[in-house]
Amino acid sequence: MTSNLSIVILTRNGLPITKMCVESIQKHTKDYELICIDNGSTDGTVAYLNSLPHAVVISNGENRGFAAGNNQGFREARGEYIVMLNNDTLVTPQWSELLINWLNKNSSLGMVGPRSNNVSPGQQISTEETVELATVDSFAIDWTKRYANQGFYSRKLVGHCILFRRSLLEHIGGLDERFHPANYEDDDFCLRARLFGKNLWVANDVFIYHFGHASFLVNKVKYRDYSWENARRFIEKWQLPMSIHQLETQGYNPNVIVGRVGTFDPQKHVEPL
């Protein structure tokens, strides 16, 4: 029997937080397949992943990057729905049911994301909210009650947790692997979905905990160097009239890009899996 939901997780060291992430999935998710792509861990992560019952594990033995790794997972996915989920997240009660419900409520939606801590402003909860690691579940339950059935359209979604239908990949392809090893592939993914005519939605009634940049810290990655290089690639691909410094410090308006490009061009905007 094929599971309705495919959860794709990318790992590269960070075994303790990966365990916490997987345990939260096991606790709060029904009827799913877990697909784990490891990009060259050396801390026992692969052995742990291989010990998980029924998990699909692909060990690359090297760092293929965020986009390439997730694309491997997308190719393995068999569920109607796919979640691209970072390993430095903790999912919470009813998370997947609520995200899927939102996607099914509105046929114009292509991708759905949650509210979180340690993310970009559009999905970031108020700094006045106190989220303790030990009480994440109770916080999330209260959050869901407080904001039941509330959500809003978004210009883009953060790649730490994005739900979409597997069929979307047939139209826009996967993540663009030019954005290596990480950053801006989620921006690009969202832009292509919007150009294809699909809207992005933030499920205001779903809270997912996010440690934030954990993989970069664990692997001692120079985040700024990679981010700036991918900013250059992003500017080049979408022909933005701005400098790398401007993009990195001021951001950009996705609506302007969508308005300027106008229509989805399969020759330009599909990233084949």
pLDDT in tens, 134-166: 999 999 999 999 999 999 999 999 999 999 999
The answer to whether residues 114 and 207 touch, using CB atoms and an 8 Å cutoff, is yes
> Is residue 252 a part of any domain in this protein?
no
Phi, psi dihedral angles at 54 (to 5 degrees): 70, 0
Specify the pLDDT at position 242: 97
Specify the pLDDT at position 226: 82
Q: Cα separation of 44 and 11, whole Å? A: 11
Q: What are 181-218's pLDDT values in tens digits?
A: 999 999 999 999 999 999 999 999 999 999 986 555 55
> Is residue 244 a part of any domain in this protein?
no
Q: Cα separation of 215 and 133, whole Å? A: 18
Q: Please, how many CA atoms are within 13 Å of residue 99, restricted to the half-sphere of its CB?
A: 31
Specify the pLDDT at position 132: 94
Specify the pLDDT at position 135: 97
DSSP state of 271: B
51, exposed or middle or buried, with CB in 10 Å at 0-12, 13-18, 19+? exposed
> Is residue 40 a part of any domain in this protein?
yes
Mean pLDDT of the chain: 95
Q: What are 207-265's pLDDT values in tens digits?
A: 999 998 655 555 555 667 789 999 999 999 999 999 999 999 999 999 999 999 999 99
Specify the pLDDT at position 239: 97
Sign of torsion over alpha carbons 77, 62, 10, 18: positive
> Is residue 241 a part of any domain in this protein?
no
- Cβ-Cβ contacts under 8 Å for 248 (sequence gap 6 or more): 227, 228, 231
> Is residue 118 a part of any domain in this protein?
yes
Specify the pLDDT at position 224: 75
Specify the pLDDT at position 221: 57
Q: What are 166-177's pLDDT values in tens digits?
A: 999 999 999 999
Burial of 106-115, coded b for 16+ CB within 10 Å and e otherwise, reads eeebbbbbbb
> Is residue 239 a part of any domain in this protein?
no
- In the numeric block, the tokens 């293929």 are attached to 64
**Taking CA 64 as the corner, what is the angle to CA 59 and CA 68, rounded to the nearest 5 degrees?**
95
> Is residue 90 a part of any domain in this protein?
yes
Q: State the amino acid at position 162 in one-letter form.
A: I
For 85-102, what is the mean pLDDT?
Answer: 98
Give the β-pairing of 89-90 and 32-38. unpaired
At residue 58 the predicted structure's pLDDT band, cuts being 50, 70 and 90, is very high
Domain CATH number, residue 24: 3.90.550.10
Q: Cα separation of 48 and 257, whole Å? A: 42
> Is residue 102 a part of any domain in this protein?
yes
- Cβ-Cβ contacts under 8 Å for 204 (sequence gap 6 or more): 115, 147, 150, 151, 152
Specify the pLDDT at position 1: 45
> Looking at the 3D structure of the chain, how many domains does it have?
1
Can you give the residue range of the structural domain that contains 172?
Answer: 5-218
For 32-48, what is the mean pLDDT?
Answer: 98
Q: Cα separation of 235 and 40, whole Å? A: 29
Q: Cα separation of 65 and 69, whole Å? A: 6
Least confident of 81-95, 100-114, 221-235: 221-235
- In the numeric block, the tokens 């330009």 are attached to 268
